[in-house]
Structure 1
Amino acid sequence: MTNWLPDPALLTRPAYLSLAEHIARAIEAGTLAAGARLPPHRRLADELGLSVQTVSRAYEDLIRRDLIAGEIGRGTFVRQKGGEARQPYLPERSGELIDLSILKPVCDTLHLDRIRAAFAWLGESLPASSALSFRPNMVMPRHRMIGAEWLAEMGIEVPAHNLTITNGASSAITAALMGVAPVGSTIAAEALTHHTLMPLCGYLGLHLEGVAMDGSGMLPAALDEAARRTALRAVFLQPNVINPLAAQMPADRRAELVAVARRHDLAIIENDILNRMVVDAPPPLAALAPERVLYIHGFTKITVPALRVAYLAAPDRFATAVANRHLVSSWMATPPIVEILSHWLTDGTAAELIAWQRLRLAERHALAQRVLAGRVSGTHPQALHLWLRLPEGRAEEEFVAEARLRGVAVAAGSAFRATDRGRRDSVRIALGSTDLEELRQGLSIVGSMLEEGAEAPLPGI
């Protein structure tokens, strides 16, 4: 059992969060090594002058953060680092924390009303095939047709049979990677990218090459150099404002990256889960290079989280491989949820919720501009988050830990880095994860922490 104990004089309120942060910092610093056994709840409570309940809540918080693990009959131990990927968000909201760490759309009673009405409609209208069939081709053809028509309105022409319907964008990303890159091959992505891409490539046996970027996205010259140096198979891009910088890639940059991909015959995986909500977006990469772009179009971030469905549109050369990889990994998307999506696309509910989301996010960006007093620059009014570069000398992990002690959870930039080259410590702040008053309070806490830093942070990667 470890002899390490935090200094009781340094604990602040709420005590359980303060204790959890002191233990977390000791783990990060190596003072508490992997495998170290922590004191039993009662002993630590007695040593620190705390209640057993406070120590239990601290341990529960650390278990949720995947830093420690309890073993029945043996005790509580520090987890081995590097076993599983640490996510940027809290697995669940805990205690008094204002959670600005998880990316989600703004939700209100409207969303609950619409999804309840949809399930009522489903109870009356569910086709027998969606309830009883094991065969995707008995269930999905009509839904693929509806999806192809929806995408065509965005300028993306794809045959319905080349459209795979998945349980959300994560499933679509997995099927796309498996469809274009055999085990051992290399995928390129921007230096700041989707937080699941790094562990996913590891699980699939793929190498991930982080490519230099600026405020507009991946640098074409850097992709060209990486393709000449490494046998790249594909490039993963998020040109619309879902990327960590919350930036929109301009049309000329998109065209330049397509030209590089054609020169080296690279597949492009385009993750565009905000799609129609971004009103002034240039044409998708899939419209510029339909012969090589696998286009992912999601709905959970623009309608309601329960609608876990995404479209994966693939060109002829990849469509069969993608469909087969999805078949063996997921079989098919959940038919009743797909029924609701198709119903919403045809009756106007999806368009209604997208327009509502657009307005609410504009309000929250305006609030962020007021509260953070000019410290936010270059973010798009339809982005679900802010990306803040920290003042010089402020380490992001320490900033995140201090923010938790002050009652607000934000995400460290490290979760989104495919490479540490050109690193600038930053944090991501989600705007849709709580109500307006809590958002104002959370942003105020972050603003006061930034004021305590050196120079005001500048936008950057």
Structure 2
Amino acid sequence: MTLWHPDPALIRRPAYQSLADQFARAIHDGRLANGTRLPTHRRLADDLKLSVQTVSRAYEELIRRGLISGEIGRGSFVQTQRREPEPPYLPERLGEVIDLSILKPVCEPMHLERMKQALGWLAENLPSSSALSFRPNMVFPRHRAVAVEWLKLCGLDASAQNISLTNGATAGMTVALMSVAPPGSTVATEAIGHHTLVPLARYLGFNLQGLPIDGNGLIPEALDEACRLSDIRAVFVQPSVINPTATLMDAERREQIAAVARKHDIAIIENDVLGPLVEDRPPPVAAFAPERTLYVTSFTKITVPGLRIGYLAAPDRYVAAVANRHLVSNWMATPLVAEIATKWVTDGTAMELVRWQRAALRRRQDIAGEVLAGVDYRARRDGLHIWLQLPADRSEESFVAQARLQGVAIAPGTSFRISDTPWHPAVRISLGSTTEGELRAGLGVVTKLLLGDPEHLLLAI
């Protein structure tokens, strides 16, 4: 039985964060073993001369970090053996399952043919530097210059020296977070956000704070309050439809987020993987706060999934940090894929595929509107998915499981939950991962389940 106890002399403001950090260090150092029962909130508050609310927030922070678990009626326990989070998508498509869980663009034989043609061109035109060099500065200057032109299509003016090529958006956002959020710091984000942020925060050692959202995205006042009460170092946002709720943040809200970030001198990480796919959208948040925004975009969800290449544009103050973190985590983007992306941007193929994708997605949004007629859901005309809130009396887990039993895979909304605030059950449904016929059939199953008797569905499971 451990005798370790938090030291009140080491508690700094904000107190709950400092207390949580003490517990985290004790757990990591082995001074608190797995399964150890922690003091009750009131007892620890009395011992440390803190409020019960402060201790409760510290325990909630430790739960969010995956270091302890709270069991109603039993107490709080150290939990060092963590289960890996489940992905929101079906890991492998089996049998005749209609997979509406994974977010991907519409693909037809034409896309494979374009890639084959590009690989044939590459075989004849491959520069020696892309095949033989280990030095990023020997490979990528030409690609960065082309990236400048693509970012203009995304609504952003950036200098070639400020752009890093990455192996897609995931690598870009990871490098961006490593560059602005050292271990122990806190990153704010939308309460319903990117599904990899929670495990990524755990792996990189920073804290994640989910903030309230509305129909226009992250609420600026919530970010301002969080910055006043906590040591927020950065805010991660997905303002342009790629977020789970398919929200397109308007220009005024983007400007307000930029103003709050500037007021508190925090970094902004903007995930904009759909780029020019979303027509008539406002300028990126990066355009309102270019001096502090790390902007991430890529080609995988708007052209061909196999074109795993992206751009990370960083302001001057972060360029060196981005370069160093990218070197140690990836060394450099894959040169052969970069060659294809640069060719496609230069000869217009990339934008041609974007326009094709936009038209295909609009047809599928029409299918969704037809099959889900009378059902309230959130979507955007150029989006890859819809966000469907379930009736309050419906179990999200049961609904997803029943759909799976009927041959349709959908993503549970809780996979995207960042905040511990009250939750309304919902599901995310991808529109691009199947044929139009399969999509229609899959949405038909969802509609029947939605209009069915929830008690009957529960018994069926």
Query: TM-score by structure 1 length?
Result: 0.80
2:300 matched to which residue of 1?
Answer: 300
Q: Deviations over 1:169-196 (max 9, x none)?
A: 0000100000001110000000000100
2:358 matched to which residue of 1?
Answer: 358
1:283 matched to which residue of 2?
Answer: 283
Task: Give the percent of matched residue pairs that are identical in Structure 1 and Structure 2.
Answer: 57
**Structure 2 spans left out of the alignment, 5+ residues:** 1-79, 455-461
Q: Deviations over 1:282-317 (max 9, x none)?
A: 010111110011000111000000000110000000
Aligned AA (2:406): R
CA distance in structure 2 between the aligned counterparts of 1:140 and 1:246, rounded to whole angstroms: 34
1:146 matched to which residue of 2?
Answer: 146
Matched-pair contact (CA < 8 Å) for 1:394–1:453? no
1:165 matched to which residue of 2?
Answer: 165
CA distance in structure 2 between the aligned counterparts of 1:113 and 1:381, rounded to whole angstroms: 27
Matched-pair contact (CA < 8 Å) for 2:99–2:410? yes
Please say which of residues 145-154 and 83-92 is displaced more in the overlay.
145-154
Matched-pair contact (CA < 8 Å) for 2:292–2:315? yes
Per the alignment, do residues 404 and 82 of structure 1 end up closer, same or farther by CA in structure 2, a change over 3 Å counting?
A: farther
1:69 matched to which residue of 2?
Answer: none
CA distance in structure 2 between the aligned counterparts of 1:280 and 1:263, rounded to whole angstroms: 29
Matched-pair contact (CA < 8 Å) for 2:273–2:296? yes
1:375 Cα deviation (Å)?
A: 1.3
Aligned AA (1:86): E
SS of 2:184 mapped into structure 1: coil
1:376 Cα deviation (Å)?
A: 4.1
CA distance in structure 2 between the aligned counterparts of 1:247 and 1:222, rounded to whole angstroms: 17
1:426 matched to which residue of 2?
Answer: 426
SS of 1:297 mapped into structure 2: strand
1:90 Cα deviation (Å)?
A: 1.2
Aligned AA (2:297): H
1:154 Cα deviation (Å)?
A: 3.8
Per the alignment, do residues 154 and 384 of structure 1 end up closer, same or farther by CA in structure 2, a change over 3 Å counting?
A: closer
Per the alignment, do residues 155 and 89 of structure 1 end up closer, same or farther by CA in structure 2, a change over 3 Å counting?
A: closer
CA distance in structure 1 between the aligned counterparts of 2:152 and 2:362, rounded to whole angstroms: 27
CA distance in structure 2 between the aligned counterparts of 1:127 and 1:353, rounded to whole angstroms: 25
1:202 matched to which residue of 2?
Answer: 202
Matched-pair contact (CA < 8 Å) for 1:99–1:434? yes
1:110 Cα deviation (Å)?
A: 1.3
1:84 matched to which residue of 2?
Answer: 84
Aligned AA (1:142): R
1:419 Cα deviation (Å)?
A: 1.0
1:426 Cα deviation (Å)?
A: 0.2
* Counterparts of residues 99-118 of structure 1 (less than 5 Å): 99-118=99-118
Per the alignment, do residues 337 and 153 of structure 1 end up closer, same or farther by CA in structure 2, a change over 3 Å counting?
A: same
Q: Deviations over 1:99-126 (max 9, x none)?
A: 0000000001110111110000000000
Q: Deviations over 1:213-246 (max 9, x none)?
A: 1111111111111111100000000000000011
1:453 Cα deviation (Å)?
A: 5.0
2:186 matched to which residue of 1?
Answer: 186
Aligned AA (1:332): M
Aligned AA (2:312): L
2:315 matched to which residue of 1?
Answer: 315
1:383 matched to which residue of 2?
Answer: 383
1:217 matched to which residue of 2?
Answer: 217
Matched-pair contact (CA < 8 Å) for 2:377–2:386? no
CA distance in structure 1 between the aligned counterparts of 2:208 and 2:348, rounded to whole angstroms: 40
1:343 Cα deviation (Å)?
A: 0.1
CA distance in structure 2 between the aligned counterparts of 1:261 and 1:81, rounded to whole angstroms: 36
SS of 1:433 mapped into structure 2: coil
2:244 matched to which residue of 1?
Answer: 244
1:344 matched to which residue of 2?
Answer: 344
RMSD of aligned Cα (Å): 1.2
2:273 matched to which residue of 1?
Answer: 273
**Structure 1 spans left out of the alignment, 5+ residues:** 1-79, 455-461
SS of 2:269 mapped into structure 1: strand
1:259 matched to which residue of 2?
Answer: 259
Q: Deviations over 1:42-93 (max 9, x none)?
A: xxxxxxxxxxxxxxxxxxxxxxxxxxxxxxxxxxxxxx98421210001110
Q: Does 1:448 align with 2:456?
A: no
Alignment size in residue pairs: 375
1:422 Cα deviation (Å)?
A: 3.2
Matched-pair contact (CA < 8 Å) for 1:261–1:268? yes
SS of 2:317 mapped into structure 1: helix
1:410 Cα deviation (Å)?
A: 0.3
CA distance in structure 1 between the aligned counterparts of 2:340 and 2:180, rounded to whole angstroms: 30
CA distance in structure 1 between the aligned counterparts of 2:361 and 2:300, rounded to whole angstroms: 15
